[in-house]
């Protein structure tokens, strides 16, 4: 029972360790599932953010691409218009400049013609003056006329000079205005050239910016392709994570089902353990009862052995009451089957039975108690075996005082002379010590063994003197043999 209880405890501890291990695995799986759910949520949020970023980037790129194309087209149109306007302005300025130059040349030619006419008139006047001087020289009378002519000439000179000064002033003003216009036009042309250079620089910058924007557009397209690839990878990873989550959920459900099954098994095992503990308590109580009964039986066997030893020492002096008391004790202490206790004593006495079962010579079917002791199967419940095992002084460690017995029957010897007396060396000390349940050393206890063997042979001689009619058959056992001995003692009295 103790082994069953220990095995049940071991199984219970094994189940408990398995349940703890499964609980730990369940907790780990739950933590892993929570982590995967968190990662899944993070990946979902990242995928949504990436989708929004992708949409924003696409819209921004489309918008920027359209805007840049519009700007490029507008700038190209503006540049073409500006170039056309510049060409038109140049042509207009060239025409105006050429027209003004022609006008100035015409005015200069007019002035040259006027100067020529004036020079011609001056020459004519000088000629006239000379003619007048000649006339004055010729005609002193003509001084007054000459003075008048001089006055007229002076007036004419003054008028001509005034007209020439006015015309020169006008020409100078016109030329100054024209020069100013020419300077303005030159400045404007220079400014236009500068603006043209600036526009060319701006055009080159715009071309460079256009190239950079195209490069950026190519980069953005490449980034979009990489983002799409990353999105595909993230989608694949998301699908794999979703599959992992599903697998972990299935494993979690299986673990929960196994846990429920193990809980049911644990409940059934706990009920079985309770039942077995109740059975163990019941068996413990029965074992205690059997042990108390065994102790009572051993006490009775000890008292019977003491009385039997006294009977065997001096059977003639022993009164009939003590023999009847011995018979009653032997009848009361008849062996019974006591369940698990006897089974345990049988297992403990198998080694002794294997050592005791030494072949003995037959004594013509005389059922002596020790011979019956060698033939019985239930050695653990045999009173004589218990007497030989537990009684000190009779084949035990403490030797009793040796006494020599004489034959109580006539003849003073053995009734059966044809039965050989067993020699003292029939049972070796080592096996004899095993039979008696003691650990005797041959060198130390040799005299003790010899004295015990002599007493044993004398006892057999006394008991073999019982008549053949008083002997009990073999199937009656020990009780029948002792009853026959008691009847023989009464018959002798």
String of DSSP letters for 449-462: HHHHHHHHHHHHHH
Is the pLDDT reported for residue 464 higher than 70?
Answer: no
Instruction: Give 348-351's long-range contacts (Cβ < 8 A, gap of 24+).
Output: 348/380, 349/379, 349/380, 349/385
Of residues 410 and 312, more confidently modeled: 312
pLDDT at 320: 63
Is the pLDDT reported for residue 260 higher than 80?
Answer: yes
Q: How far apart are CA 270 and CA 29, in angstroms?
A: 28
At 410, is the pLDDT very low, low, confident or very high (cuts 50, 70, 90)?
very low
pLDDT average, residue stretch 208-229: 84
Contact 489, 323 (CB under 8 A): yes
Contact 484, 466 (CB under 8 A): yes
- pTM for the model stands at 0.23
Is the pLDDT reported for residue 197 higher than 50?
Answer: yes
Q: How far apart are CA 387 and CA 373, in angstroms?
A: 11
At 30, is the pLDDT very low, low, confident or very high (cuts 50, 70, 90)?
confident
Q: What is the largest CA-CA distance in the chain?
A: 249
Q: How far apart are CA 16 and CA 273, in angstroms?
A: 13
Q: How far apart are CA 1 and CA 290, in angstroms?
A: 15
When mean pLDDT is compared across 109-123, 202-216, 332-346, 355-369, the lowest value belongs to 355-369
The fraction of the chain above a pLDDT of 90, given in percent, is 0
pLDDT at 447: 58
Cβ neighbours, 10 Å, residue 292: 10
Alpha-carbon dihedral sign for residues 53, 58, 60, 61: positive
> Apex CA 72: angle with CA 67 and CA 78, to 5°?
120
Average per-residue pLDDT for the chain: 68
At 398, is the pLDDT very low, low, confident or very high (cuts 50, 70, 90)?
very low
When mean pLDDT is compared across 185-189, 304-308, 442-446, the lowest value belongs to 442-446
Contact 488, 475 (CB under 8 A): no
pLDDT at 140: 65
pLDDT at 278: 87
Of residues 5 and 296, more confidently modeled: 296
Is the pLDDT reported for residue 394 higher than 80?
Answer: no
User: Which two structure tokens, joined as six digits, stand for 133?
Assistant: 């001087």
pLDDT at 370: 39
The answer for residues whose C-beta is within 8 angstroms of residue 234's C-beta and 6 or more apart is 43, 46, 47, 50
DSSP helix/strand/coil, 249: helix
pLDDT at 158: 80
User: Which two structure tokens, joined as six digits, stand for 276?
Assistant: 């077995």
């Amino acid at each position: 029972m103790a082994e069953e209880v220990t095995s049940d405890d071991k199984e219970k501890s094994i189940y408990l360790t398995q349940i703890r291990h499964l609980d730990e695995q369940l907790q780990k799986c739950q933590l892993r599932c929570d982590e995967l759910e968190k990662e899944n949520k993070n990946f979902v949020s990242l995928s949504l953010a990436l989708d929004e970023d992708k949409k924003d980037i696409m819209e921004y790129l489309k918008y920027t691409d359209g805007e840049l194309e519009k700007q490029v087209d507008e700038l190209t149109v503006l540049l073409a218009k500006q170039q056309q306007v510049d060409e038109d302005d140049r042509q207009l300025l060239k025409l105006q400049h050429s027209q003004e130059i022609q006008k100035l040349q015409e005015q200069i030619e007019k002035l040259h013609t006027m100067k020529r006419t004036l020079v011609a008139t001056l020459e004519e006047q000088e000629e006239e003056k000379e003619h007048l001087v000649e006339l004055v020289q010729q005609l002193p009378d003509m001084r007054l006329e000459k003075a008048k002519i001089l006055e007229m000439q002076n007036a004419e000179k003054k008028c001509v000079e005034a007209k020439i000064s006015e015309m020169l002033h006008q020409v100078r003003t016109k030329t100054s205005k024209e020069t100013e216009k020419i300077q303005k036009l030159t400045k404007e042309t220079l400014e236009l050239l500068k603006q043209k250079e600036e526009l060319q620089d701006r055009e080159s910058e715009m071309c460079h910016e256009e190239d950079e924007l195209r490069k950026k557009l190519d980069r953005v397209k490449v980034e979009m392709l990489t983002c799409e690839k990353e999105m595909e990878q993230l989608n694949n990873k998301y699908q794999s994570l979703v599959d992992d989550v599903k697998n972990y959920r299935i494993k979690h459900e299986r673990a929960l089902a196994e846990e429920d099954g193990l809980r049911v098994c644990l409940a059934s095992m706990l009920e079985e353990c309770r039942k077995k503990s109740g059975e163990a308590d019941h068996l413990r109580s029965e074992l205690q009862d059997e042990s108390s009964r065994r102790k009572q039986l051993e006490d009775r066997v000890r008292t019977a052995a003491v009385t039997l030893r006294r009977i065997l020492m001096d059977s003639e002096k022993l009164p009939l009451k003590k023999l009847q008391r011995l018979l009653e004790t032997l009848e009361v202490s008849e062996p019974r089957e006591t369940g698990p206790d006897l089974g345990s004593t049988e297992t403990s006495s198998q080694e002794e039975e294997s050592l005791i079962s030494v072949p003995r010579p037959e004594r013509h079917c005389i059922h002596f108690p020790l011979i019956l002791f060698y033939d019985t199967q239930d050695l653990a419940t045999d009173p004589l075996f218990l007497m030989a095992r537990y009684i000190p002084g009779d084949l035990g460690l403490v030797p009793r005082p040796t006494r020599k017995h004489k034959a109580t029957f006539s003849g003073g010897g053995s009734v059966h002379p044809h039965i050989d007396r067993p020699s003292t060396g029939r049972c070796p000390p080592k096996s004899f010590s095993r039979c008696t349940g003691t650990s005797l050393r041959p060198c130390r206890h040799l005299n003790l063994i010899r004295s015990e063997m002599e007493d044993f042979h004398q006892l057999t001689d006394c008991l073999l003197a019982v008549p053949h009619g008083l002997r009990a058959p073999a199937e009656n056992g020990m009780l029948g043999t002792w009853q026959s001995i008691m009847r023989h003692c009464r018959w002798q009295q």
